[in-house]
Amino acid sequence: MTKFSKLIILLSFLLTAVSCSEDYQGPVPYPTLMEAANEAGLTTLVSAVRSVPGLEASLQSQQEITVFAPSNDAFANALTAFKATDLNDLVTKIGGAQNLQTVLGFHVVPEVAFSRNLFEDNILTTLAGQQLRVFNNNGVVTVADRAGNVSRVIQADVRIENGVVHVIDRVLIPSIELPKPNLVEAATERGLTTLLTAVTAVPGLPNRLLSAPEITVFAPSNEAFAAALSALKAKDLNDLVLKIGGPANLEKVLGFHVVPAVALSANLNATNTFTTLSGQTIIVEKSGNTVSVKDKLGRVAQVVTPDIRIANGVVHVLNGMMLPDLMLPTVVEAAQSAGLTTLLDAVTAAGLGSTLLNAQAITVFAPSNGAFAAALQAYKVSNLNQLVAKIGGVKNLQTLLGFHVVPAVAFSSDLAATNTFTTLAGQQLTVTKTASGVTVRDALGNTSSVTTADVAIKNGVVHVIDKVLLPTIKLPNVVEAATSANLTTLLQAVTAAGLGNTLLSQNAMTVFAPTNEAFAKLLSDLNLGSLQELINTLGATAVTKVLGFHVVPAAAFSFDLAQGSQQVPTLAGEMLTVVRSGNNVTVTDKSGNTYQVVVADVAIENGVVHVIDGVLLPTL
């Protein structure tokens, strides 16, 4: 304050004193600052001053002060501006009690300045050591803080014991170091809601990020997450988590966006390689003011908002989502992890491992061990090898397994209510989705339920089902099987005897089929030159009986036979002796000749063929 101003004040005081001298009763009892504030209803200011230990006494002990006192509404607006719920929360938001003292001290000038003493533009130094600019425009007094925010004096010149109070409509903010937001607060302020939801979905991840000493977060925007959902054909974040392989891989994806160090854009080189929290590296490139991030697969995202300072580092907002190597399991690894041992054995037996591993995109409906056990029971077999025999060999096993594989990726979220897929077997599979789950119907109309859905693999997805799906499997008839095995003499004999239709029309049968060499040996033993000579010699009836002696009117695979010797009926009306010893099977005819089964278990439409090395003779 200028000497001239002080002189004016002094003269005014003397004139007042002279005019009142005859009534003078002692000093005018002006209120203290706190009394005046309470009387003016400035309760929030009183609470704020008294929350700083010793501040009230310090202000009271000042010889001269001018206080620019914020109204309750001014404090309420400050709470809103700092997103604080009350005064205590405001103290936290501005950085603690020390900063509160600085803020309050910024409202106090250590001299007396009535409004009439203020010039058009005044610079006053406050108790906080920082300067205020006070303007007087024809009696309208305003105050500007360090940030240029302007407050208006709404009640001027309230006298107090050691100075004057001017009530203002805004809290003045000095130059203070405001606390930086944490990652969650910064993301919330920037509207990164999908990122926050994703981080929260990983147990413990928010605390790990908040408590990390230093981090740089390349934070995908909501639009970046939306683009990732679209690229992965995911409907929402939960669906995305399924398609990338579960919560563990979500944590890996999010960790791939976090570097455990502070990297402001100004400190970046042209090319920077950082190891992320996921343990994998990203490349950050800077060209002029443009910063971009590249992952291992060459995908690039650009920083659209750099250098958002947070309590333990910095956030750069990205316009794309970066994907690390998620190391999803192969279909074989997924099956191993799920304990699908029988399925793995079947795939190995069928030689389909490479086909499944090398397919670009597959959906596998994988029968559980229990499903295979039920199939074994239905086919009355005890192991996979026997099942393979009953369905007609490895080629049909390939068809059966291929019927469980769709050459496209179909997570449960991708399914419509009813879906028809063409499988690797070339046959169609019907998949139905309802509120209660997903079911699959095979070619025979049998329905299987998905018990474990959406196991992500490198090239698709696996759904575990509770039944083995059965395609249409074509087995040869007995003639086709004999032709395939090149049993030409047997076929000629059957044709000559007119037994073709008899064999083809049997409901169930087991045929012990002699080789060409077996027939040749019989002709040699009988000194006959051809099959026709044999027919001529024995007669058609006898030949029919011989052939019927090779046919049992029931289906008996080698593993259906009991161990040891057994008598089985034949179409010739006589019993045939069959002996099983381990995996070896022999047959003995009525002449006591014993022959070996050299090729067992050739499945046919209505039974099974066992190729033998001799011609069986009944009683002739």
Q: What is the mean pLDDT of residues 85-104?
A: 91
Asked if residue 397 lies in contact with residue 349, where contact means CB atoms within 8 angstroms, the answer is yes
State the pLDDT confidence band at 350, using cuts at 50, 70 and 90: very high
Tokens 């086919």 belong to residue:
379
Give CA–CA dist 571/551, Å, rounded: 6
Q: What is the pLDDT of residue 441?
A: 96
Give CA–CA dist 428/471, Å, rounded: 9
Pairing of strands 271-275, 121-125: unpaired
Write the DSSP symbol of residue 521.
H
- Those residues whose C-beta lies under 8 Å from the C-beta of residue 495, and which sit 6 or more positions away, are none
State the pLDDT confidence band at 507, using cuts at 50, 70 and 90: very high
Q: How far from 306 is each of 284, 320, 397, CA to CA, in Å? A: 13, 14, 58
- Those residues whose C-beta lies under 8 Å from the C-beta of residue 304, and which sit 6 or more positions away, are 221, 317, 318, 319
Write the DSSP symbol of residue 452.
E
Write the DSSP symbol of residue 32.
P
CATH number of 478-612: 2.30.180.10
Asked if residue 45 lies in contact with residue 70, where contact means CB atoms within 8 angstroms, the answer is yes
Q: At what angle do helices 341-350 and 384-391 cross, to 10 degrees?
A: 50
Tokens 């001017």 belong to residue:
166
Least confident range from 19-28, 55-64, 105-114, 319-328: namely 19-28
Give CA–CA dist 299/322, Å, rounded: 7
Give CA–CA dist 524/528, Å, rounded: 6
Give CA–CA dist 522/614, Å, rounded: 8
Q: How far from 98 is each of 91, 102, 104, 176, 403, CA to CA, in Å? A: 9, 6, 10, 10, 73
Q: Is 83 left (phi over 0), alpha (psi -120 to 50) or beta?
A: left
Pairing of strands 564-569, 575-581: antiparallel
Asked if residue 569 lies in contact with residue 553, where contact means CB atoms within 8 angstroms, the answer is yes
Structural domain boundaries in the chain = 26-168, 183-318, 331-465, 478-612
Q: What is the mean pLDDT of residues 232-259?
A: 93
Phi, psi of 200 (to 5 degrees): -65, -30
Q: What is the pLDDT of residue 180?
A: 87
- Which secondary structure element, helix H or strand E, spans residue 8, and what is its range? helix 3-19
Give CA–CA dist 540/542, Å, rounded: 6
Q: What is the pLDDT of residue 483?
A: 95
Least confident range from 146-150, 381-385, 434-438: namely 146-150
| Beta-carbon count within 10 A of 160 CB | 21
Asked if residue 45 lies in contact with residue 160, where contact means CB atoms within 8 angstroms, the answer is no
Length of the chain in residues, anyone?
A: 620
Q: Which of 411, 399, 398, 426 is nearest to 457 (CA)?
A: 411
- C-alpha radius of gyration, the chain, whole number: 47
What 3-state class would DSSP assign to 20? Answer: coil
**Where in 326-427 does DSSP place strands (E)?**
362-367, 405-406, 418-422
Instruction: Please say if the pLDDT value at position 502 is more than 60.
Output: yes
Give CA–CA dist 415/425, Å, rounded: 21
Q: What is the pLDDT of residue 29?
A: 82
| Beta-ladder partners of 315 | 217, 308
Q: What is the pLDDT of residue 9?
A: 36
Instruction: Please say if the pLDDT value at position 10 is more than 50.
Output: no
List, in sequence order, the alpha helices (H) in 176-330. Answer: 183-189, 193-201, 205-211, 222-231, 237-243, 247-255
Q: What is the pLDDT of residue 5?
A: 37
List, in sequence order, the alpha helices (H) in 124-181. Answer: none
Q: What is the pLDDT of residue 27?
A: 55
Pick the CATH number of 331-465 from 2.30.180.10, 3.40.50.720, 2.120.10.30, 3.30.830.10: 2.30.180.10
State the pLDDT confidence band at 28, using cuts at 50, 70 and 90: low
Asked whether the domain spanning 183-318 has the same topology as the one spanning 26-168, the reply is yes
Instruction: Please say if the pLDDT value at position 25 is more than 70.
Output: no
Average pLDDT, the chain: 91
- The torsion angle over the Cα atoms of residues 148, 149, 155 and 159, rounded to 10 degrees, is -50
Write the DSSP symbol of residue 31.
P
Q: What is the pLDDT of residue 83?
A: 86
Give pLDDT tens digits for 301-348.
Answer: 999 999 999 999 999 999 999 999 988 999 999 999 999 999 999 999
Q: At what angle do helices 516-525 and 531-538 cross, to 10 degrees?
A: 50
Give CA–CA dist 604/242, Å, rounded: 45
Give pLDDT tens digits for 406-430.
Answer: 999 999 999 999 999 999 999 999 9
Q: What is the pLDDT of residue 92?
A: 87
Instruction: Please say if the pLDDT value at position 593 is more than 70.
Output: yes
Asked if residue 617 lies in contact with residue 591, where contact means CB atoms within 8 angstroms, the answer is yes
State the pLDDT confidence band at 295, using cuts at 50, 70 and 90: confident
Asked if residue 338 lies in contact with residue 464, where contact means CB atoms within 8 angstroms, the answer is yes
| Beta-ladder partners of 272 | 284
| Beta-carbon count within 10 A of 84 CB | 17
CATH architecture of 26-168: Roll (2.30)
Q: What is the pLDDT of residue 93?
A: 85
Convert 32-57 to b/e letters by CB count within 10 Å (16 or more is b): ebbebbeebebebbbebbebbeebbe
| Beta-ladder partners of 300 | 294
Give pLDDT tens digits for 564-581.
Answer: 999 999 999 999 999 999
Instruction: Report long-range pairs for 1-4 (Cβ below 8 Å, ≥24 apart).
Output: 1/111, 1/112, 1/113, 1/117
| Token pair listed for 434 | 């309802």
Q: How far from 277 is each of 257, 281, 397, CA to CA, in Å? A: 8, 9, 46
Instruction: Please say if the pLDDT value at position 585 is more than 60.
Output: yes
Q: Give the DSSP letter string of 304-353.
A: EEEEEEETTEEEEEESS-------PPPHHHHHHHTT-HHHHHHHHHHT-H
Pick the CATH number of 183-318 from 2.30.180.10, 3.40.50.920, 3.40.50.1000, 2.40.50.180: 2.30.180.10
